[in-house]
Amino acid sequence: MIETKPISQSQRTPIIDILRGWALFSVAVMNYSTIYSWNNHSKDSDSNSLSETLKIISETIFESKGWTLLAILFGYGFSVLLKNIKQNGQNHYTFFINRMLWLFVFGFINSLFFGGDILTDYAFMGLILLMFYNCSTRSLFILSVTILLLTPALQSLLGRHHLLFTPKYRDIFYELYNSHTTLDSVKANLYMRYKWMLRLSYSVILHLIQLGCFILGMAFQRSNFFEMIDRKPRIVLKKIVFYSLIISIVMFLLQMVVDKNDWTINDYYNLYYPVALSLTVFSSSLICWIYFSGYFKSTFNLIKATGRMTLTNYVLQNIISFFLFICIRPNWSWYWYFLAGIIIYILQVFFSNWWLKKYNYGLLEWLWRSLSYKKWFPLIKVK
């Protein structure tokens, strides 16, 4: 049997881990805000000024930005991993199918604690992504941009025919969730993950956006995009930051005008994902520009550790939120959920740095790697 070598720590691109850390932070804030809406869906909305201000900030900066960025980075990592597997002479299809099956197992366990799990989506869409692995870099870019541009039109088409939302699935979820027992909360999470999320707005639209992001990430890796901006950060990144900022402002203001005046543009081209994706590009490119400019090195070094433990930290965030917000259900205002996401992430930053001083991988990263390669890698660092 040919020995398969995993990616060594020296081969890692630091900015990828930093972007993963930022995405993990965005996902924490978004998920905790989502759980607030579950706990208060039948109550009057929290309308104090602090909550309203933070909601606007959260929706603008975090909502749908974390998981779209993670999807791009997943596609990037997918391409790196399969490239190494092929170079080592192992059947990359067999390897990756096995790896995605184990990711689905992790996702199923995670969905017991949080019904909005994305790991099972990544496992399923990862298998679909295999179909595009032999495409050229140019084809990958064209295909990803086409999917991301056309999906909002499909979203509007399905919306006009009232096919995106199924209230009865939502009602059954809340019936289970409102039972206020741990077992029914788990059932509610499973119902959301494997039934409610089969509605077309999720099973078709969101998965197409995920696929477009996956393919874009794979194209970035093939084109050595992050290595290129590492060599010429000011030239490349300034342009990306500037143009993505202009597009984001235009898209954001257009969405506000459309909503305020009840224009029908969303009936033909839904602006939600174009706004979210443009802001994702802007925030990510801004982080890259700041990093390559040499600012906040110590902060970025801390955040990098959370990116190396994305899987462990993501599942841990959901386990904490399950017991804190779903089992206990404190009568908190929205901003406390928001702040809890920030505080827990900060604690994870210090935990991750402490952990990686003693261990080679995050716990779940180590387990996933060992199961994927079918051999046990050393977890504890040798002094």
The whole-angstrom distance between residue 180's C-alpha and the CA centroid of its chain comes to 29
DSSP symbols for 134-146: TS-HHHHHHHHHH
The per-residue pLDDT for range 327-353, each reduced to its tens digit, is 998 888 888 999 999 999 999 999 999
Are residues 337 and 36 in contact, defined by beta-carbon separation less than 8 angstroms? Answer: yes
In the predicted model, is pLDDT for residue 299 greater than 90? yes
The string of pLDDT tens digits covering residues 253-283 is: 998 898 888 888 888 999 999 999 999 999 9
Between CA 290 and CA 15 the distance in angstroms is: 11
- Which one-letter DSSP state was computed for residue 90? -
> What's residue 1's pLDDT?
30
Give the pair of three-digit tokens for residue 87. 């170079």
Q: Dump pLDDT digits (tens) for 34-58.
A: 999 898 876 765 566 777 777 888 8
Q: Tokens for 47, please give them.
A: 């309308």
Report which DSSP code applies to 180.
-
- Contact residues for 74 (Cβ-Cβ < 8 A; gap 6+): 122, 126, 213, 214, 217
pLDDT, position 322: 95
Q: CA 375 → CA 82, 105, 272, 370, 378, distances in Å? A: 18, 18, 44, 5, 10
Residue 105: its pLDDT value, please?
96
Cα first-last separation, the chain: 30
* Highest-confidence segment of 29-43, 112-126, 184-198: 112-126
Which tokens is 122 given? Answer: 């990544």
How much is the average pLDDT of 287-293? 89
CA angle 286, 129, 60 (to 5 degrees): 30
Whole-number pLDDT of residue 4: 40
Burial class (CB in 10 A: 0-12, 13-18, 19+), 324: middle
CA 267 to chain centre: 27
Q: Which two tokens stand for residue 135?
A: 């495409």
Residue 98's Cβ-count burial label (10 Å; 0-12, 13-18, 19+) is middle
* Lowest model confidence (mean pLDDT) among 86-95, 253-262, 287-296: 86-95
pLDDT value of position 44: 63
Strand partners, 380: 359
Distance CA 67, CA 63 (A): 9
Other C-beta atoms closer than 10 Å to the C-beta of 225 total: 16
What gap in Å lies between CA 267 and CA 256, rounded to an integer?
15
Each residue of 139-152: pLDDT tens digit?
999 999 999 999 99
76 contacts: CB under 8 Å, gap ≥ 6: 16, 217, 218, 220, 221, 226
Provide the pLDDT confidence category of residue 202 given band limits of 50, 70 and 90: confident
Query: Can you tell me the distance from the alpha carbon of 363 to that of 381, in angstroms, rounded to the nearest whole number?
Result: 13
